Amino acid sequence: MTSNRPYLLRALYEWILDNGMTPHLLVDTTVQGTVVPQNYIENNRIILNLGPDAVREIVLGNDLITFSARFGEKSCHLTVPVNSVIAIYAKENGKGLVFETEDTQADEQTQDRTDEMSNKPAKHHLKVIK
């Protein structure tokens, strides 16, 4: 299956806006393809304000998030790979979602396949309750 991350990002972005709050992204800037202003990076991370007053031409795609924003007096075009997003949250109350790393997801998928091959019950299974 494809990653659910872009769908969750879009849903949470809309949810935050619908509640009158300001969506922010926490981004891992070491991920290849990330184009953000270098002066604002701290510890290989950057927090980006995605509020309607802060960005223009935002596109929340399946692979990339692109938009224009001003940093200082300079307009910049930013590119954020979806897999570089660590979290999306509302600035005002911190409500949102922190994503698992790609390594954690890969480990879980490998464990599920190993369980299937060894005929062990998978970690997550349903029970019939009478």
Query: What are the extents of the domains in the chain?
Result: 5-100
Computed on alpha carbons and rounded to an integer, the radius of gyration of the chain in Å comes to: 18
Structure-token match 């806006």, residue found: 17
**Domain 5-100 in CATH: superfamily?**
SspB-like (2.30.30.220)
Structure-token match 């872009």, residue found: 6
Q: What is the pLDDT of residues 4-46, one digit of tens each?
A: 999 999 999 999 999 999 999 999 999 999 999 999 999 999 9
Structure-token match 């981004």, residue found: 27
Q: How many helices and strands, by DSSP H and E, does the chain display?
A: 2, 7
Q: What is the pLDDT of residues 85-130, one digit of tens each?
A: 999 999 999 999 999 876 544 444 445 554 555 555 555 556 566 5
**Rounded Cα distance, 8 and 123, in Å:** 23
- Give the count of beta carbons closer than 10 Å to the beta carbon of residue 103: 8
CA distance from start to end of the chain: 32
User: What pTM, to 2 d.p., does this model score?
Assistant: 0.77
